[in-house]
Chain A
Amino acid sequence: AQSVTQPDIHITVSEGASLELRCNYSYGATPYLFWYVQSPGQGLQLLLKYFSGDTLVQGIKGFEAEFKRSQSSFNLRKPSVHWSDAAEYFCAVGGNSGGGADGLTFGKGTHLIIQP
């Protein structure tokens, strides 16, 4: 069965500093990988996704993620965070249909706190 691990439950970063959120996955074949963000009281918004091709993917709001097959990782990065980036971040993996009949499997989430 597929699984996703986000090792950091909480991360605190100063505004303007760089950010890396870790994500490790377990999946038997080529995974389809996603990062979603959830602000308080809001639904999930897609930041970026990896299906195939270039292993460095660019997303919205200045985020990027790199797929590393050898490490089973898909870490999310941003060079300079803004206070508005404070939110819950979820990594997810989908099956070979991009989340078809099995839906997406989500990690437990990382809560990002931005210090002024």
Chain B
Amino acid sequence: GAGVSQSPSNKVTEKGKDVELRCDPISGHTALYWYRQSLGQGLEFLIYFQGNSAPDKSGLPSDRFSAERTGGSVSTLTIQRTQQEDSAVYLCATSGGLRDTQYFGPGTRLTVL
């Protein structure tokens, strides 16, 4: 597609449930990033994928968060046993590689009740 797409656009879940958030990158973009945007913390970097290399997970806030990238393309961010503090907008960005502009998707708004 022309831009980064994310699904779903909105997700409401109950505390303790697992959720999966999806990111479809711009075709040909090898680098993919996940960020979280919340009122209290602002924009936080979570995880980065470069091609098929193992991701840098150091930004993930807890071991309930995990992410994978299939075939160097689509990525899924999974949050297990969701907590209310996980409520935020989750943004995906992709770029053509190092030193290239990051293009952001519209985000997934997650609400944990």
Contacts and interface: CB of A to CB of B under 8 A. Distances in A.
26 contacts: A43-B91, A43-B104, A43-B105, A43-B106, A43-B107, A44-B91, A44-B93, A98-B99, A98-B100, A99-B33, A99-B95, A100-B31, A100-B50, A100-B98, A103-B35, A103-B45, A103-B48, A103-B59, A104-B33, A104-B43, A104-B102, A105-B45, A107-B42, A108-B42, A109-B42, A109-B43
Interface of A: 32, 36, 42-46, 49, 51, 90, 92, 97-109
Interface of B: 4, 31, 33, 35, 42-43, 45-46, 48, 50, 56, 59, 91, 93, 95, 98-107
A49 B35 CA distance: 19
A102 to B, nearest CB: 7
Q: Is the interface of B mostly helix, strand, loop or mixed?
A: strand
B42 to A, nearest CB: 5
A32 B99 contact: yes
Contacts of A99: 33, 95, 102
A44 B50 contact: no
Contacts of B50: 100-101
Contacts of B95: 99
Given A42-B106, A44-B104, A97 B42 contact: no
Nearest to A41: B106
A49 B95 CA distance: 14
A79 B107 CA distance: 31
